[in-house]
Amino acid sequence: MKNLNWFQARDLAQKQGRAVRRDAWRKWLYYTPWYLWFIAENDAHGVQHRWVVKNGDFGSAEFIALDWTDEPWPDEPDPVNGPVTPPSPGPSWGPWPPISSNLPHPIPPIVIFSGGGGPPSGPPTDPPPHHNPPQNQPATVSVSVDYINMDGYDEEKGCIQDNGGGSHSGSFSVSVTVSGGPPGVGTLDVRMGTQSPQLGTAWDGYNGDFEFDDIPFSPGGSLTATANYSINGQTATGSGQFQVPDTCQPDYGDDGQ
């Protein structure tokens, strides 16, 4: 099938176990029984690499695109469709799970990898443990904020240098953790300052980092970030604050002048 919108392509992946792609892509997007989306792409040597979808793999353009398809490209050496199974050797993923009508249809999750090593080359050998909290247990959302860089920040003195009354701005990292709540995948809305919210998906046990740039701040003030996690008609909200260092005091030297 060709010229599909995202919602049609998503249903093919979730309900029929089809891999899907945008027409210009030479890689595949597919859904797993772990409620995660993966990218599969062959390198120049024909070796397939797989990783959890990151925010760089799926953006707003993919949501509004009308060129989704489950058909192979003309020169694809080894068409993958149907249904998708991992290359051998590899674990059996079992049957594709039924999609409950009361669960939100997830978009690919935003996953930020930190440190070295890059994304995984494939799914783990053992499926992740299943959490089975009571159905009426509300989710808890924890939010913390730390700086990446701040205009005028003196790391040695731990203060903001006076810039003559001008404005200050910086980049900040917002870490969000979700625990508890109904099983399944929910939506995440992360906000800081007046910038547009960053959206993604989350679940019980989720932890992710979101970067916000060009956030204005005042020395000695505080910044607040909030995260809203919605699943099965329930919304849990968490917030975190960052205390901005004060303005550096003048250094008069040993003679006090």
pLDDT of residue 34: 63
**Which pLDDT belongs to residue 16?**
83
Do 148 and 142 meet the contact criterion of CB atoms below 8 Å apart? Answer: no
pLDDT digits (tens, 9 = 90+) for 35-48: 678 888 887 887 77
Angle at 129 between CA 59 and CA 205, to 5 degrees: 50
Q: Which amino acid is at 234?
A: Q
Detail the DSSP E strand segments found in 103-183: 140-150, 153-154, 159-160, 168-179
Q: Which residue has the higher pLDDT, 231 or 74?
A: 231
pLDDT tens-digit map of 184-228: 889 999 999 888 899 989 998 999 999 999 999 999 999 999 999
Q: Which two tokens stand for residue 96?
A: 């594709």
Terminal CA-to-CA distance of the chain, rounded, Å?
78
Lowest mean pLDDT among 19-33, 66-80, 128-142: 128-142
What are the φ and ψ backbone dihedral angles of 9, each rounded to 5 degrees? -65, -40
Q: Is the pLDDT of residue 169 over 80?
A: yes
Of the ranges 10-19, 41-50, 120-129, 133-142, the best mean pLDDT one: 10-19
How far is C-alpha 38 from the geometric centre of its chain's CA atoms?
13
pLDDT at 61 over 90: no
Domain positions in the chain are: 1-104, 140-243
Is domain 140-243 classified as CATH 2.102.10? no
Nearest to 110 by CA among 219, 198, 239: 198
Q: What is the pLDDT of residue 252?
A: 65
- Retrieve residue 9's tokens: 């392509």
Between 118 and 184, name the one with better pLDDT.
Answer: 184
Highest mean predicted confidence (pLDDT) among 121-125, 160-164, 219-223: 219-223
Total residue length of the chain: 257
Would you state the pLDDT for residue 77?
59
Q: Place 50 in a pLDDT band, splitting at 50, 70 and 90.
A: confident
